[in-house]
Amino acid sequence: MSVTYIIRRVLFLFLVVWVAATIIFFIPRLSSRNPIRERFAELARSGGFSAQNLEQIVGAYNKQFGLDKPLIEQYFNYIGQLARGDLGPSLFRYPKPVIELVMDALPWTIGLLLTTTVLSFILGNLIGALASWPRSPGWVKGIMGPIMMLQGIPPYLLGLLLLFYVGYRLQLLPLGGAYTKGTFPNMSISFILDVAKHQILPALSLILATTGFWALGMRGMGVTIQGEDYVNFAEHKGLSPGRIFSGYYVRNALLPQVTGLALSFSGVVVSGGLIENLYGLPGVGSVLGQAIVANDYFVIYGITIFLILAVAIFMLIVDLIYPLLDPRIRY
């Protein structure tokens, strides 16, 4: 793989992030809402101080955040800040910087999304491959029906149903939160098991909803591959069915699935965020939900640009790994 390709790909990444950052910068400024003024109006309403000095206070904060400078200058300041990794202060946890909020919440999100994506990818592809293999038992092919139906349901709905029936009615698993209230996070086995128990329902809803997607794709690919000549040739050579299955069949069908994995990252992040919101896990999605309710624009913008950057970096990594999986690809 040539160095020019890698450089081109990284430049493309920067281009995407820059375009996204520009969009994120301009859209809120086109509207007439001013987050700082709104925040202070809220404080004034609940705290009860008079509105005369409100203009002065808002003016002082505007000056501090540089919001009274011309738009172009603000834009360059913004891009400069982004390049340094500074996403600005948050409003509803002032003055905690947005980036710190995100970093605190990130481990939970990564834990949930990484496990569920890997598990559902492996499981889904396996089921899909077995479902289109003519020699698999009948029940495997039968599973495809319910899985297809499940796949259309957004993970959020599945999460809601699971939460109600398993958590509330049957009281088998906890109702939300990342760990039992009142325990302090520490590295003991009991705490880890507690965390794991709380993650079962969210992980289950994500896995059930996304497995079907991989299974469907794999089944489609599998049917196409079975007609190929090399599978025929392998059978005539007398290879064992297991070897044909793993070496010839799954291996070739996996490549487009990996591309699909890269493309699905943005969807996974979004679904994960909604599920986190539902279950009260302290991940990035929850912070975004709270920020929306609290009208905290700086956090919303910061998290949006962060997630876009994360998705773009993942896609770059998958793109670079691709030639390792398929030696025929030359860039």
Partner 1 sequence: MATTSPAINPVSAPNSMVQMPSRGVLFARYLRRNKSLAIGIFIVLFLILFTVIGSATLNTVKLAYPLAVKPKQPPDLACLFDPTKSVGKGCFPLGSDFYGRDLLATMVRGIWQTAVIGVMAGAIGTAIGVILGFISAFYGGVVDTIIKGVCQVLQPIPVFLIQVLVASSIDKRYVTIYAMALIICLLAWPGPTLVVRSQVLSMKERMFVSVARLSGMTNIEIVFKEILPNLLPFIAASFVGQVFGAIFASFGLSVLGLGPLREPLIGNTLYFSQYQAALFNNWWWWPLWPTLALILIFGSLTLINVGLDEVANPRLRRSE
Write out the residues near partner 1 by the rule CB under 8 A. 12, 15-16, 19-20, 23-24, 27-28, 30-33, 148-149, 151-154, 156-157, 160-161, 163-164, 168, 216, 220, 223-224, 227, 266-267, 269-270, 274, 277-278, 288-289, 292-293, 295, 297, 300-301, 304, 307-308, 311-312, 315
Question: What 8-state DSSP symbol labels residue 185?
Answer: P
One-letter amino acid of 228: E
Closest CA to 134 of 217, 216, 227, 234: 227
Contact between 295 and 35 (Cβ < 8 Å): yes
Between 23 and 60, whose beta carbon lies closer to partner 1?
23
Q: How far is the CB of 255 from partner 1 (least distance, A)?
A: 17
Between 62 and 295, whose beta carbon lies closer to partner 1?
295
Q: How far is the CB of 172 from partner 1 (least distance, A)?
A: 15
Contact between 299 and 310 (Cβ < 8 Å): no
Q: How far is the CB of 307 from partner 1 (least distance, A)?
A: 6
Phi/psi for 97 (5° steps) reads: -65, 150
Between 24 and 204, whose beta carbon lies closer to partner 1?
24
The neighbouring-strand residues paired with 97 are 89
315 three-class SS: helix
Question: What 8-state DSSP symbol labels residue 184?
Answer: P
Q: How far is the CB of 212 from partner 1 (least distance, A)?
A: 8
Closest CA to 284 of 91, 103, 85: 103
Q: How far is the CB of 191 from partner 1 (least distance, A)?
A: 26
| Residue 330 CB-density burial (10 A; 0-12 exposed, 13-18 middle, 19+ buried) | exposed
Between 31 and 56, whose beta carbon lies closer to partner 1?
31
Can you list the alpha helix ranges (DSSP code H) found in 1-97? Answer: 3-30, 35-47, 54-65, 71-83
Between 83 and 223, whose beta carbon lies closer to partner 1?
223
Q: How far is the CB of 66 from partner 1 (least distance, A)?
A: 19
Between 191 and 290, whose beta carbon lies closer to partner 1?
290
Q: How far is the CB of 238 from partner 1 (least distance, A)?
A: 25
Between 18 and 94, whose beta carbon lies closer to partner 1?
18
Tell me the two tokens of residue 314: 């993942």
For residue 114, how far is the Cα from the chain centroid?
9
